[in-house]
């Protein structure tokens, strides 16, 4: 894998291009979850299409687009504050227009030297992403960091890092797209932003409180293990962890679909099929005892899954995911065939109803909602295949060739078992594939690759090395 060191300019603050409202904006109950108090990153790679490299001063155009974007997304130019409330502190956005961080960098490496397709693990990713310091410290710091790295071939790498308490992956990419649109000279963003955090904020009533208590009881009962004493956790941290990305294209998905009963194959989404397959192969690769309870947690986004009235508006860029969870004994999961795993994932998805979402919001508002998985026996998944696409473009002189989430940084608590962000890419044949990054101990990774190869009827599982 290619290695390099980026030469970075001194970080500079970019302010909104014009005066913006001075106010305090409340976050939603979803935004204020402790697990989101960190930063999240999207990284995008662009190939230069014109002789001689990029147009003059691409950094200037990008900074101008960023300054214009902050007029529309002016809370992002502010800072998070903690306000005292009767039962603790409340996180809010103080719209101070203090600005965001921009860094220009150069790297003596060509895009062709990166492995293709561009999927995690990206080489020297720390050289391409802004240093935010302590990623778990978010109060009083800039909410957005953007690094533009010019490559020797004229290509450009853009890495946008934002505070997760203010945006989720969909919101981050929406802001990213706005910056690039305005940097190209568009008059305004294709999608105008909407704050509307009150739509994901609880309003208590006696009925809601009772429902919240019932949901709390259901959640705790779901999390219970069998009566058999659990063995010690797998020593994931005693062996070097490695990351590989596995590709699921039309061929692999067709094989998975044909491996379950026709009724289930017709009704299952691509996400359900791949999640079930990867969860099952991961459990087998980690060699859990048959009685171990293993689970997969994945995110259901309220933008599309919640049928509330009014719905979340187009342009909403706050956090909107709710956790769905499937659980089984490892023996049941691994011995029951792919169909059983698909059924479990599908049933978990159906449990994220409007009633469930409202109950979770009430628990969040009361500080009683906890996300504390057993990281040795839980597989966490986030589907961001629809977040980044070729509409993220720098103009006719460059084309997007890949990108997505580089992975979690410190501050999330998932270092030993990081989530898998499902992304999309095109393979060598031009087919659109789902990219599944996987982080496992080295010996378990070899077993996982063999399991995937056997399940998809591909002699060697398609993956990055």
Burial of residue 201 (CB within 10 Å: 0-12, 13-18, 19+) is middle
Please state whether beta strands 12-14 and 100-107 pair in parallel, antiparallel, or not at all (unpaired).
antiparallel
Q: Can you tell me which residue has the tokens 């203090």?
A: 98
Q: For the chain, which domains are there? A: 7-199 (3.30.559.10), 235-387+404-456 (3.30.559.10)
Span 268-291, pLDDT tens digits = 999 999 999 999 999 999 999 999
DSSP structural state of residue 363: H
> Is 226 or 65 the better-scoring residue by pLDDT?
65
Could you confirm whether 198 is annotated as catalytic?
no
DSSP structural state of residue 262: H
Q: Can you tell me which residue has the tokens 């993220």?
A: 392
Give just the sign of the alpha carbon dihedral 340, 346, 348, 351. negative
Span 392-412, pLDDT tens digits = 888 888 888 888 888 644 334
For residue 82, is pLDDT > 50?
A: yes
H/E stretch holding 331 reads helix 330-335
Give the angle subtended at the CA of 30 by the CAs of 28 and 32, to the nearest 5°. 75
Q: Return the pLDDT at 239.
A: 66
For residue 462, is pLDDT > 80?
A: no
Q: Return the pLDDT at 369.
A: 78
For residue 465, is pLDDT > 60?
A: no
Counts of helices then strands in the chain (DSSP H, E): 11, 16
Q: Can you tell me which residue has the tokens 């509307």?
A: 196
461 pLDDT band, cuts 50/70/90, is low
* Catalytic annotation, pick one of 72, 164, 346, 356: 164
% residues pLDDT > 70 (the chain): 84
Half-sphere exposure at residue 325, Cβ-oriented, CA atoms within 13 angstroms = 20
- Output the 3-class SS for 16-53: CCCCCCCCEEECCCCCCCHHHCCEEEEEEEEEECCCCC
For residue 265, is pLDDT > 80?
A: yes
Span 151-175, pLDDT tens digits = 998 899 999 999 999 999 999 999 9
């Amino acid at each position: 894998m290619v290695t390099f060191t980026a030469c970075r300019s001194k970080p500079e603050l970019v302010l909104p291009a014009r005066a913006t409202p001075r106010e305090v904006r409340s976050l939603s109950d979803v935004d204020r979850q402790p697990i989101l108090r960190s930063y999240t990153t999207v990284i995008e790679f662009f190939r230069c299409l014109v002789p001689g490299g990029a147009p003059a001063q691409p950094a200037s155009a990008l900074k101008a687009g960023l300054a214009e974007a902050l007029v529309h997304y002016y809370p992002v130019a502010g800072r998070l504050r903690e306000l005292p409330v009767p039962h603790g502190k409340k996180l809010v956005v103080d719209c101070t227009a203090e600005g965001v961080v921009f860094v220009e960098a150069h790297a003596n490496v060509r895009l062709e030297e990166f492995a293709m397709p561009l999927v995690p693990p990206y080489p020297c990713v720390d050289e391409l992403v802004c240093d935010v310091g302590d990623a778990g410290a978010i109060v009083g710091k800039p909410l957005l960091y953007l690094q533009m790295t010019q490559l020797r071939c004229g290509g450009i790498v853009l890495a946008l890092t934002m505070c997760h308490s203010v945006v989720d992956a969909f919101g981050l990419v929406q802001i990213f797209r706005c910056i690039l649109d305005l940097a190209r000279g568009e008059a305004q963003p294709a999608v105008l932003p909407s704050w509307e955090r009150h739509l994901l904020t609880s309003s208590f009533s006696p009925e809601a409180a009772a429902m919240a208590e019932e949901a709390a009881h259901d959640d705790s009962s779901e999390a219970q293990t069998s009566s058999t004493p659990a063995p010690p956790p797998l020593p994931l941290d005693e062996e070097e962890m490695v990351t590989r990305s596995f590709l699921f294209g039309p061929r692999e998905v067709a094989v998975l679909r044909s491996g379950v009963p026709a009724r289930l194959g017709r009704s299952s989404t691509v996400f359900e099929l791949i999640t079930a397959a990867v969860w099952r192969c991961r459990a087998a690769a980690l060699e859990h005892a048959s009685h171990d309870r293993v689970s997969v947690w994945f995110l259901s986004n309220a933008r599309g899954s919640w049928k509330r009235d009014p719905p979340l508006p187009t342009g909403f860029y706050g956090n909107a995911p709710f956790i769905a969870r499937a659980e089984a004994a490892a023996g049941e999961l691994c011995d029951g065939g792919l169909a059983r795993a698909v059924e479990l994932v599908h049933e978990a998805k159906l449990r994220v109803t409007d009633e469930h979402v409202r109950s979770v919001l009430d628990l969040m508002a009361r500080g009683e909602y906890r996300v504390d998985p057993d990281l040795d026996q839980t597989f966490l998944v986030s589907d961001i295949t629809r977040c980044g696409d070729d509409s993220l473009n720098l103009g006719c002189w460059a084309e997007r060739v890949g990108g997505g989430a580089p992975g979690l940084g410190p501050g999330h608590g998932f270092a030993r078992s990081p989530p898998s962000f499902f992304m999309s890419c095109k393979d060598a044949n031009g087919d659109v594939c789902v990219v599944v990054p996987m982080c496992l101990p080295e010996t378990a990774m070899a077993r996982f690759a063999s399991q995937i190869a056997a399940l998809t009827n591909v002699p060697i599982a398609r993956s990055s090395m």
